[in-house]
Chains A and B, each alone.
Chain A
């Protein structure tokens, strides 16, 4: 606890060494300080290591259980013997995993496309164009973020019943083609940082706002577009509430999140607790997300920091 927190470890070296004595190597600290510092290093790292084990444990246990036979999963065994990789195939006896996975994929991919396509022009109008009432519209956009889903979901259900959209994926996908407040906000923040001179140069060449958007702003904002698409993809993949509400009553449109949640009760009722199958399902469901995370890790952590502080 004695060392200074901060990204510069050098900061600790500036601690005043009070005793004035002739020293040939002035950078070498007195032994008691060095010992103290070494103990601190060990203490800090053992705390970090303990936490790391705690954070990783659920992953390890879930994964190992997914590889056990049903009896092993119920026993006190920690290591699968033998490894039952076929659980990942077997799961389709309990859950139409391909169809549910396909539904989740359709929802995630199409809604990501929709969010990007529809939010970009809105964000452009809110950041790069000047007009009366812009501020008010921006505040309206943000205010929709504060409205709980519960308020709108009942009348929306009524609307979707009228449209005969309940039991299809349409209620999940179509609204995303009509702008998403969070994405509009994120894109607007990014568009604001693009220098005005670039747009002016295009304007001198006779380009209108549509041309400026497609030729200047979008190419420069590719990372932000990717971030928005990625966030929406993950949101849709993980989403439980809306798929349960609007698509959960039709077995053909159940998404993986909803199907997996139902697996728990059906496995209990019909087969006794098959933890191995349940955990295999969890692993399959989280695998794409974890994979995406490791592929885009840096963008991710930075994106979270950005939206967190700005939002």
Chain B
């Protein structure tokens, strides 16, 4: 009897060991499959993130090793006029340009839902500009909006004052806004899909209630597409804070003229680039990067928290 229990015990043990070995092998496969991302995550995300946090408390110029300076970089930001200018310029893009572009994208999508002839052609034409690489699109607009360029010539024909656009501080950012509106295709397509998904019974119900076109848009369309508006706002704001390429090219594409005219195109990303990669103030650039990260996080969280008040998920309707 004793033998029997011992043998039983051994068999169970063997069974268990085989199970764990199989288990181990399974986890080995998982690990092997994950390994590219794991290595990438450690070397290209985790390490740089921690290193940049450390650099932000140091003075580092790449030539000598980092020297701990505590909060000096963060304190310097408060007294750096160009930091504040770049933040103001960036906020202009986030607060004005992003919502205007989203509204324009909704407008274009609405127009597409009403077109009955050649809908596919119109959709393609509205979408194509979004495909144009940022550098090429910006160069195109630098030409279109140059003081002797086509747009100002048309404005002259109409006897409308002609701004100097990228050569005049007040009009440089509106020039970039126009460029952004030209390339709303991506956002527009998402809105178009959302608009086509609105159940038409809702519009019929609104008609029976005697709602006019504006009321129908305000009380049916807007709530129904609010999840997409929310998505577009969050991604637009995150993108807006990191605005770089268009500003770089529109201010001349030359390291010596970055931010011109008169700093009106000095965006946060551009000032950070100059500090880090032109003056090699790696510590200050890292501190700026972390402040940017915090600003983006806080804004996104605020948007998410506000969303319960204005974003309606379709479940609530049915």
> Chain A 284-296 against B: per-residue CB contact (8 Å), 1 yes, 0 no?
0110011001000
- Indicate if the CB atoms of A293 and B128 lie closer than 8 Å: yes
Question: Could you say which of B37, B134, B276 contacts A238, with CB atoms under 8 Å apart?
Answer: B134
Which of A26-34, A45-53, A87-95 contacts its partner?
A45-53
Residues from chain A with a CB closer than 8 A to the CB of B228 are: 308-309
A177 within 8 A of B: yes
Residues from chain A with a CB closer than 8 A to the CB of B198 are: 5-6
> Chain A 271-289 against B: per-residue CB contact (8 Å), 1 yes, 0 no?
0010100110111011001
Residues from chain B with a CB closer than 8 A to the CB of A58 are: 129, 137, 140-141, 144, 182
- Indicate if the CB atoms of B39 and A4 lie closer than 8 Å: no
Residues from chain B with a CB closer than 8 A to the CB of A234 are: 131
- Indicate if the CB atoms of B213 and A154 lie closer than 8 Å: no
Give chain A nearest CB distance to B223 CB in angstroms.
Answer: 15
Which of A17-25, A195-203, A219-227, A255-263 contacts its partner?
A255-263
- Indicate if the CB atoms of A148 and B133 lie closer than 8 Å: no
A65 within 8 A of B: yes
Give chain A nearest CB distance to B44 CB in angstroms.
Answer: 5
Whether A279 touches B143, Cβ cut-off 8 Å, given contacts A48-B115, A286-B133, A289-B133, is yes
Instruction: With CB as the reference atom, state the residue of chain A lying closest to B122.
Output: A48
- Indicate if the CB atoms of A175 and B241 lie closer than 8 Å: no
B219 within 8 A of A: no
Provide the bound-state CA to CA distance between A282 and B127, in Å: 19
- Indicate if the CB atoms of B136 and A260 lie closer than 8 Å: yes
Residues from chain A with a CB closer than 8 A to the CB of B39 are: 178
Whether A285 touches B140, Cβ cut-off 8 Å, given contacts A151-B293, A297-B124, is no
Residues from chain B with a CB closer than 8 A to the CB of A79 are: none
A102 within 8 A of B: no
> Chain B 93-134 against A: per-residue CB contact (8 Å), 1 yes, 0 no?
000000000000000101111111100001111111101111
- Indicate if the CB atoms of B37 and A260 lie closer than 8 Å: no
Question: Could you say which of A44, A121, A237, A244 contacts B111, with CB atoms under 8 Å apart?
Answer: A44
Residues from chain B with a CB closer than 8 A to the CB of A85 are: none
- Indicate if the CB atoms of A6 and B44 lie closer than 8 Å: no
Whether A48 touches B111, Cβ cut-off 8 Å, given contacts A155-B48, A301-B127, is yes
Whether A305 touches B113, Cβ cut-off 8 Å, given contacts A55-B182, A290-B131, is no
Question: Could you say which of A125, A147, A208, A209 contacts B34, with CB atoms under 8 Å apart?
Answer: A125
Question: Could you say which of A121, A158, A281 contacts B33, with CB atoms under 8 Å apart?
Answer: A121
- Indicate if the CB atoms of A308 and B189 lie closer than 8 Å: yes
Q: List 8 A-B contacts (CB under 8 A).
A: A118-B37, A146-B300, A148-B293, A159-B48, A175-B44, A238-B133, A264-B254, A289-B133
Other than the given A245-B273, A281-B139, 6 more pairs (CB < 8 A) read A48-B115, A58-B182, A131-B26, A147-B49, A155-B47, A257-B134
Counting from the closest, the 9 A-B pairs by CB-CB distance are A178-B40, A265-B254, A179-B37, A155-B51, A118-B36, A125-B33, A308-B190, A152-B48, A261-B253
